[in-house]
Amino acid sequence: MGKILITGSSGQLGSYLIENIPESIGVDLKASQYTQLVWDLRKNPEEILRNYEIDTIIHAAAQVSVVKSVEVPKFDAENNIMGTINLLEYARKHDVEHFIYISSAAVYGEPKYLPIDEEHPTEPESPYGLSKLTGEKYALLYHKLYGIKVASVRPFNIFSPRQDPQNPYSGVISIFVERAKKGLSLIIYGDGEQTRDFVNKEDVVQLIKLVIEKEATGIYNCATGKETSINELARIIKELSQKSIEIIHDRPRKGDIRRSYASIEKAKKLGYWPKTNLREDIKYYFF
Under 8 Å between Cβ of 256 and 190: yes
Q: Is 283 helix (H, G, I), strand (E, B) or coil?
A: helix
Chain center to CA of 231: 23
Under 8 Å between Cβ of 210 and 272: yes
How many angstroms separate the CA atoms of 169 and 166, rounded?
9
How many angstroms separate the CA atoms of 219 and 24, rounded?
23
Cα four-point dihedral sign 199, 265, 154, 191: negative
Q: Is 128 a catalytic residue?
A: yes
Catalytic residue among 16, 90, 128, 261: 128
How many angstroms separate the CA atoms of 58 and 15, rounded?
12
Catalytic residue numbers?
128
